[in-house]
Chains A and B, each alone.
Chain A
Protein backbone atom coordinates (compact mmCIF):
# COMPACT_ATOMS: atom_id res chain seq x y z
CA UNK A 1 0.00 0.00 0.00
CA UNK A 2 2.77 2.40 0.96
CA UNK A 3 4.44 1.84 -2.40
CA UNK A 4 1.32 2.89 -4.25
CA UNK A 5 1.01 6.04 -2.23
CA UNK A 6 4.60 6.95 -2.92
CA UNK A 7 4.15 6.13 -6.60
CA UNK A 8 1.13 8.39 -6.83
CA UNK A 9 2.95 11.06 -4.85
CA UNK A 10 5.87 10.94 -7.29
CA UNK A 11 3.53 11.43 -10.25
CA UNK A 12 1.96 14.33 -8.45
CA UNK A 13 5.28 15.86 -7.52
CA UNK A 14 6.45 16.02 -11.11
CA UNK A 15 3.27 17.80 -12.04
CA UNK A 16 3.64 20.24 -9.19
CA UNK A 17 7.31 20.71 -9.92
CA UNK A 18 6.67 21.49 -13.58
CA UNK A 19 3.86 23.88 -12.69
CA UNK A 20 6.12 25.52 -10.14
CA UNK A 21 8.78 26.08 -12.77
CA UNK A 22 6.29 27.60 -15.16
CA UNK A 23 4.17 29.74 -12.96
CA UNK A 24 6.76 30.90 -10.43
CA UNK A 25 4.09 31.37 -7.81
CA UNK A 26 4.74 30.28 -4.31
CA UNK A 27 1.17 29.10 -4.05
CA UNK A 28 0.24 26.35 -6.41
CA UNK A 29 -3.32 25.55 -7.27
CA UNK A 30 -3.70 22.09 -8.68
CA UNK A 31 -6.09 21.38 -11.51
CA UNK A 32 -9.36 20.14 -10.01
CA UNK A 33 -9.16 17.00 -12.14
CA UNK A 34 -6.04 15.72 -10.42
CA UNK A 35 -7.07 13.43 -7.64
CA UNK A 36 -4.58 13.32 -4.85
CA UNK A 37 -3.25 9.87 -4.32
CA UNK A 38 -6.08 8.22 -6.25
CA UNK A 39 -3.45 7.60 -8.88
CA UNK A 40 -5.60 8.02 -11.99
CA UNK A 41 -2.51 9.38 -13.72
CA UNK A 42 -4.43 12.29 -15.19
CA UNK A 43 -1.27 14.32 -14.99
CA UNK A 44 -0.65 14.43 -18.72
CA UNK A 45 2.74 14.43 -20.38
CA UNK A 46 4.54 15.64 -17.27
CA UNK A 47 3.64 12.59 -15.28
CA UNK A 48 5.94 9.79 -14.33
CA UNK A 49 4.00 6.58 -14.41
CA UNK A 50 2.55 5.72 -11.04
CA UNK A 51 2.88 2.06 -10.19
CA UNK A 52 -0.82 1.23 -9.84
CA UNK A 53 -4.02 3.02 -8.94
CA UNK A 54 -4.63 3.07 -5.24
CA UNK A 55 -7.56 4.26 -3.22
CA UNK A 56 -6.26 6.59 -0.59
CA UNK A 57 -8.60 8.87 1.24
CA UNK A 58 -6.80 11.74 2.89
CA UNK A 59 -8.08 13.55 5.93
CA UNK A 60 -9.08 17.15 5.40
CA UNK A 61 -6.77 19.77 6.83
CA UNK A 62 -3.40 21.46 6.52
CA UNK A 63 -0.36 19.18 6.71
CA UNK A 64 3.25 20.28 6.87
CA UNK A 65 5.90 18.07 5.32
CA UNK A 66 9.39 17.41 6.61
CA UNK A 67 12.34 19.61 5.68
CA UNK A 68 14.29 18.02 2.83
CA UNK A 69 17.67 19.11 1.63
CA UNK A 70 17.84 20.17 -2.02
CA UNK A 71 21.09 21.16 -3.70
CA UNK A 72 21.13 24.77 -2.61
CA UNK A 73 19.14 24.66 0.56
CA UNK A 74 16.04 23.21 2.09
CA UNK A 75 12.68 22.41 0.59
CA UNK A 76 9.59 22.10 2.75
CA UNK A 77 6.03 21.95 1.53
CA UNK A 78 2.63 22.02 3.17
CA UNK A 79 -0.44 20.46 1.65
CA UNK A 80 -4.11 21.44 2.07
CA UNK A 81 -6.61 18.61 1.76
CA UNK A 82 -10.28 19.27 1.21
CA UNK A 83 -12.88 16.53 0.57
CA UNK A 84 -10.03 14.03 0.53
CA UNK A 85 -8.29 15.80 -2.36
CA UNK A 86 -5.24 17.98 -2.52
CA UNK A 87 -6.38 21.56 -2.94
CA UNK A 88 -3.00 23.20 -2.97
CA UNK A 89 0.62 22.82 -2.04
CA UNK A 90 2.57 25.70 -0.49
CA UNK A 91 6.28 26.08 -0.19
CA UNK A 92 7.28 26.86 3.36
CA UNK A 93 10.96 26.80 2.53
CA UNK A 94 12.73 26.93 -0.80
CA UNK A 95 16.43 27.07 -1.63
CA UNK A 96 16.64 30.87 -1.86
CA UNK A 97 15.72 31.02 1.79
CA UNK A 98 19.31 30.86 2.85
CA UNK A 99 20.35 31.83 6.37
CA UNK A 100 23.65 33.17 5.05
CA UNK A 101 22.03 35.57 2.66
CA UNK A 102 21.64 38.41 5.14
CA UNK A 103 25.36 39.02 4.73
CA UNK A 104 25.62 42.09 2.54
CA UNK A 105 28.80 44.01 2.12
CA UNK A 106 28.58 47.61 0.95
CA UNK A 107 32.05 47.45 -0.58
CA UNK A 108 32.60 49.31 -3.89
CA UNK A 109 32.29 47.32 -7.11
CA UNK A 110 34.60 49.14 -9.53
CA UNK A 111 34.88 46.39 -12.15
CA UNK A 112 31.30 45.25 -12.32
CA UNK A 113 28.83 46.41 -14.93
CA UNK A 114 25.04 46.33 -14.98
CA UNK A 115 22.29 45.92 -17.54
CA UNK A 116 18.58 45.23 -17.65
CA UNK A 117 17.87 41.61 -18.51
CA UNK A 118 16.46 41.02 -21.96
CA UNK A 119 15.06 37.99 -23.79
CA UNK A 120 17.39 36.53 -26.43
CA UNK A 121 17.05 34.14 -29.31
CA UNK A 122 16.67 30.64 -27.94
CA UNK A 123 18.85 29.08 -30.61
CA UNK A 124 21.25 27.32 -28.24
CA UNK A 125 22.39 23.76 -27.66
CA UNK A 126 22.12 23.75 -23.88
CA UNK A 127 20.73 25.93 -21.09
CA UNK A 128 22.07 26.74 -17.65
CA UNK A 129 19.63 27.52 -14.87
CA UNK A 130 18.89 26.78 -11.27
CA UNK A 131 17.34 23.42 -10.58
CA UNK A 132 17.29 21.24 -7.57
CA UNK A 133 16.64 17.61 -7.03
CA UNK A 134 13.02 16.54 -7.20
CA UNK A 135 13.87 14.08 -4.45
CA UNK A 136 13.59 16.89 -1.91
CA UNK A 137 10.03 17.60 -3.06
CA UNK A 138 9.14 13.94 -3.01
CA UNK A 139 10.43 13.53 0.51
CA UNK A 140 8.67 16.58 1.92
CA UNK A 141 5.33 16.02 0.18
CA UNK A 142 5.29 12.30 0.96
CA UNK A 143 5.72 13.10 4.63
CA UNK A 144 2.93 15.73 4.47
CA UNK A 145 0.60 13.25 2.76
CA UNK A 146 1.44 10.57 5.30
CA UNK A 147 0.24 12.90 8.04
CA UNK A 148 -3.02 13.33 6.14
CA UNK A 149 -3.84 9.63 6.29
Chain B
Protein backbone atom coordinates (compact mmCIF):
# COMPACT_ATOMS: atom_id res chain seq x y z
CA UNK B 1 0.00 0.00 0.00
CA UNK B 2 1.19 3.50 -0.83
CA UNK B 3 0.37 6.80 0.76
CA UNK B 4 0.00 9.98 -1.28
CA UNK B 5 -0.25 13.55 -0.07
CA UNK B 6 -1.55 16.22 -2.43
CA UNK B 7 -1.18 19.92 -1.71
CA UNK B 8 -1.57 19.57 2.05
CA UNK B 9 -1.70 22.88 3.94
CA UNK B 10 -2.66 23.55 7.52
CA UNK B 11 -2.94 26.41 9.96
CA UNK B 12 -3.42 26.57 13.73
CA UNK B 13 -5.41 29.67 14.57
CA UNK B 14 -3.85 32.26 12.29
CA UNK B 15 -0.44 30.58 12.09
CA UNK B 16 0.25 28.56 8.99
CA UNK B 17 2.25 25.46 9.89
CA UNK B 18 2.28 23.49 6.64
CA UNK B 19 2.24 24.77 3.07
CA UNK B 20 1.45 22.77 -0.03
CA UNK B 21 3.06 19.43 0.78
CA UNK B 22 2.95 16.93 -2.06
CA UNK B 23 4.63 13.65 -1.37
CA UNK B 24 4.44 9.92 -2.08
CA UNK B 25 5.38 7.15 0.32
CA UNK B 26 6.27 4.16 -1.88
CA UNK B 27 5.59 0.61 -0.77
CA UNK B 28 8.39 -1.16 1.09
CA UNK B 29 10.45 1.99 1.58
CA UNK B 30 11.20 4.19 4.56
CA UNK B 31 10.58 7.90 4.02
CA UNK B 32 12.26 10.15 6.56
CA UNK B 33 10.92 13.63 7.21
CA UNK B 34 13.45 16.01 8.74
CA UNK B 35 13.16 19.66 9.58
CA UNK B 36 13.84 22.21 12.30
CA UNK B 37 11.68 22.13 15.41
CA UNK B 38 8.21 23.57 14.93
CA UNK B 39 8.19 22.98 11.18
CA UNK B 40 5.03 20.90 11.42
CA UNK B 41 6.55 17.50 10.74
CA UNK B 42 4.71 15.81 13.59
CA UNK B 43 1.47 17.49 12.50
CA UNK B 44 2.05 16.09 9.02
CA UNK B 45 2.49 12.61 10.46
CA UNK B 46 -0.69 12.91 12.53
CA UNK B 47 -2.54 13.80 9.33
CA UNK B 48 -1.11 10.81 7.47
CA UNK B 49 -2.62 8.49 10.07
CA UNK B 50 -5.95 10.28 10.30
CA UNK B 51 -5.47 11.75 13.77
CA UNK B 52 -5.77 15.26 12.42
CA UNK B 53 -7.53 16.80 9.42
CA UNK B 54 -5.66 19.10 7.02
CA UNK B 55 -7.23 22.46 6.15
CA UNK B 56 -6.46 21.94 2.49
CA UNK B 57 -5.26 19.11 0.29
CA UNK B 58 -5.89 15.39 0.35
CA UNK B 59 -4.20 12.33 1.76
CA UNK B 60 -4.92 9.12 -0.12
CA UNK B 61 -4.04 5.50 0.47
CA UNK B 62 -3.39 3.63 -2.78
CA UNK B 63 -3.80 -0.11 -3.07
CA UNK B 64 -4.94 -2.71 -0.61
CA UNK B 65 -3.32 -3.29 2.76
CA UNK B 66 -1.57 -6.66 3.07
CA UNK B 67 -3.41 -9.81 4.04
CA UNK B 68 -4.08 -10.08 7.78
CA UNK B 69 -3.57 -6.37 8.34
CA UNK B 70 -5.57 -5.22 11.36
CA UNK B 71 -4.66 -1.54 11.37
CA UNK B 72 -3.25 -0.21 8.07
CA UNK B 73 -1.80 3.03 9.49
CA UNK B 74 -0.01 2.35 12.76
CA UNK B 75 1.97 4.75 14.93
CA UNK B 76 5.03 4.46 17.09
CA UNK B 77 5.09 7.48 19.41
CA UNK B 78 8.00 9.41 20.84
CA UNK B 79 6.76 8.93 24.42
CA UNK B 80 6.00 5.22 23.81
CA UNK B 81 2.32 5.60 24.86
CA UNK B 82 2.23 2.36 26.84
CA UNK B 83 -0.53 1.78 29.38
CA UNK B 84 1.31 1.74 32.72
CA UNK B 85 -1.28 -0.60 34.27
CA UNK B 86 -0.80 -3.30 31.66
CA UNK B 87 2.10 -5.71 31.31
CA UNK B 88 4.15 -5.90 28.13
CA UNK B 89 1.91 -8.59 26.66
CA UNK B 90 -1.18 -6.75 27.90
CA UNK B 91 -0.09 -3.63 26.05
CA UNK B 92 0.34 -5.58 22.83
CA UNK B 93 -2.93 -7.39 23.41
CA UNK B 94 -4.72 -4.02 23.65
CA UNK B 95 -4.19 -3.48 19.93
CA UNK B 96 -5.69 -6.90 19.15
CA UNK B 97 -8.63 -7.07 21.56
CA UNK B 98 -11.06 -5.09 19.40
CA UNK B 99 -10.57 -7.50 16.51
CA UNK B 100 -12.31 -10.78 16.02
CA UNK B 101 -9.42 -13.12 16.80
CA UNK B 102 -9.40 -16.41 18.66
CA UNK B 103 -7.56 -16.50 21.98
CA UNK B 104 -4.97 -18.86 20.54
CA UNK B 105 -4.43 -16.65 17.49
CA UNK B 106 -3.96 -13.59 19.70
CA UNK B 107 -1.46 -15.39 21.91
CA UNK B 108 0.42 -16.58 18.84
CA UNK B 109 0.68 -13.05 17.45
CA UNK B 110 1.92 -11.70 20.77
CA UNK B 111 4.50 -14.46 21.06
CA UNK B 112 5.68 -13.84 17.52
CA UNK B 113 6.18 -10.07 17.87
CA UNK B 114 7.82 -10.46 21.27
CA UNK B 115 10.29 -12.89 19.72
CA UNK B 116 10.95 -10.54 16.79
CA UNK B 117 11.78 -7.68 19.16
CA UNK B 118 13.67 -9.97 21.59
CA UNK B 119 11.24 -9.23 24.40
CA UNK B 120 10.05 -12.78 25.11
CA UNK B 121 11.55 -12.77 28.61
CA UNK B 122 9.75 -9.57 29.56
CA UNK B 123 6.18 -10.53 28.61
CA UNK B 124 4.87 -10.09 32.15
CA UNK B 125 6.91 -7.01 33.13
CA UNK B 126 5.19 -3.68 33.75
CA UNK B 127 6.29 -0.61 31.78
CA UNK B 128 7.74 1.09 34.87
CA UNK B 129 10.19 -1.80 35.23
CA UNK B 130 11.57 -1.28 31.72
CA UNK B 131 14.25 1.08 30.43
CA UNK B 132 13.36 3.64 27.77
CA UNK B 133 14.81 1.48 25.01
CA UNK B 134 12.81 -1.52 26.14
CA UNK B 135 9.63 0.54 26.31
CA UNK B 136 10.11 1.66 22.73
CA UNK B 137 10.75 -1.96 21.71
CA UNK B 138 7.38 -2.84 23.27
CA UNK B 139 5.74 -0.04 21.30
CA UNK B 140 7.37 -1.33 18.11
CA UNK B 141 6.22 -4.87 18.94
CA UNK B 142 2.68 -3.53 19.45
CA UNK B 143 2.83 -1.83 16.05
CA UNK B 144 4.10 -5.01 14.38
CA UNK B 145 1.32 -7.05 16.01
CA UNK B 146 -1.37 -5.41 13.86
CA UNK B 147 0.66 -6.07 10.72
CA UNK B 148 0.46 -2.48 9.45
CA UNK B 149 0.56 -1.41 5.83
CA UNK B 150 2.40 1.78 6.74
CA UNK B 151 4.25 2.42 10.01
CA UNK B 152 4.21 6.02 11.16
CA UNK B 153 7.11 6.69 13.49
CA UNK B 154 7.04 10.01 15.33
CA UNK B 155 10.59 10.71 16.58
CA UNK B 156 10.68 7.19 18.02
CA UNK B 157 14.25 7.46 19.31
CA UNK B 158 14.28 11.06 20.51
CA UNK B 159 13.48 10.22 24.14
CA UNK B 160 16.34 7.72 24.36
CA UNK B 161 20.01 8.15 25.20
CA UNK B 162 22.61 8.04 22.45
CA UNK B 163 23.74 4.44 22.99
CA UNK B 164 20.22 3.03 23.15
CA UNK B 165 19.39 5.00 20.03
CA UNK B 166 22.15 3.26 18.06
CA UNK B 167 20.99 -0.15 19.31
CA UNK B 168 17.39 0.51 18.38
CA UNK B 169 18.38 1.82 14.96
CA UNK B 170 20.14 -1.50 14.35
CA UNK B 171 17.00 -3.31 15.48
CA UNK B 172 14.85 -1.33 13.07
CA UNK B 173 17.26 -2.03 10.23
CA UNK B 174 17.26 -5.77 10.92
CA UNK B 175 13.46 -5.80 11.23
CA UNK B 176 13.23 -4.08 7.86
CA UNK B 177 15.77 -6.34 6.13
CA UNK B 178 14.00 -9.46 7.35
CA UNK B 179 10.57 -8.20 6.26
CA UNK B 180 10.57 -4.86 4.41
CA UNK B 181 7.82 -2.57 5.65
CA UNK B 182 6.56 0.80 4.47
CA UNK B 183 7.26 3.57 6.93
CA UNK B 184 7.25 7.30 7.46
CA UNK B 185 9.91 8.27 9.97
CA UNK B 186 9.82 11.77 11.43
CA UNK B 187 12.99 12.91 13.15
CA UNK B 188 15.16 15.93 13.75
CA UNK B 189 18.23 13.72 13.93
CA UNK B 190 20.03 13.67 10.58
CA UNK B 191 22.14 10.62 11.48
CA UNK B 192 18.95 8.60 11.97
CA UNK B 193 17.57 9.92 8.69
CA UNK B 194 20.56 8.87 6.58
CA UNK B 195 20.82 5.51 8.34
CA UNK B 196 17.16 4.53 7.93
CA UNK B 197 15.76 6.55 5.04
CA UNK B 198 15.41 5.49 1.43
CA UNK B 199 14.05 8.93 0.78
CA UNK B 200 14.65 11.96 2.96
CA UNK B 201 12.25 14.87 2.80
CA UNK B 202 13.66 18.14 4.13
CA UNK B 203 11.08 20.61 5.39
CA UNK B 204 11.71 24.32 5.80
CA UNK B 205 10.86 26.10 9.02
CA UNK B 206 7.31 27.28 9.71
CA UNK B 207 5.28 27.24 7.59
CA UNK B 208 6.75 23.87 6.66
CA UNK B 209 7.20 23.33 2.94
CA UNK B 210 9.29 20.75 1.13
CA UNK B 211 12.76 22.17 0.47
CA UNK B 212 14.37 19.15 -1.04
CA UNK B 213 13.93 15.43 -1.39
CA UNK B 214 17.10 13.34 -1.19
CA UNK B 215 17.13 9.72 -2.35
CA UNK B 216 19.63 7.23 -0.96
CA UNK B 217 19.84 4.05 -3.05
CA UNK B 218 22.16 1.95 -0.91
CA UNK B 219 20.80 -1.06 0.93
CA UNK B 220 19.80 -0.41 4.57
CA UNK B 221 21.74 -3.41 5.82
CA UNK B 222 24.90 -2.26 4.06
CA UNK B 223 24.91 1.18 5.65
CA UNK B 224 27.31 1.33 8.56
CA UNK B 225 29.40 3.63 10.66
CA UNK B 226 31.77 5.91 8.75
CA UNK B 227 30.14 5.40 5.37
CA UNK B 228 31.63 8.24 3.31
CA UNK B 229 28.64 8.66 1.04
CA UNK B 230 26.20 8.80 3.94
CA UNK B 231 28.37 11.36 5.71
CA UNK B 232 28.31 13.42 2.55
CA UNK B 233 24.52 13.30 2.41
CA UNK B 234 24.30 14.17 6.08
CA UNK B 235 26.55 17.19 5.60
CA UNK B 236 24.46 18.26 2.65
CA UNK B 237 21.27 17.98 4.73
CA UNK B 238 22.86 19.93 7.54
CA UNK B 239 23.81 22.74 5.14
CA UNK B 240 20.21 22.85 3.97
CA UNK B 241 18.88 23.00 7.49
CA UNK B 242 21.40 25.05 9.41
CA UNK B 243 20.09 28.51 8.68
CA UNK B 244 16.49 27.36 9.01
CA UNK B 245 17.26 25.76 12.35
CA UNK B 246 18.95 28.91 13.58
CA UNK B 247 16.02 31.08 12.49
CA UNK B 248 13.50 28.63 13.98
CA UNK B 249 15.41 28.65 17.24
CA UNK B 250 15.17 32.44 17.47
CA UNK B 251 11.42 32.51 16.82
CA UNK B 252 8.89 33.35 19.51
CA UNK B 253 6.29 30.67 20.01
CA UNK B 254 3.21 32.87 19.59
CA UNK B 255 4.62 35.68 17.47
Are A and B physically bound partners?
A: no
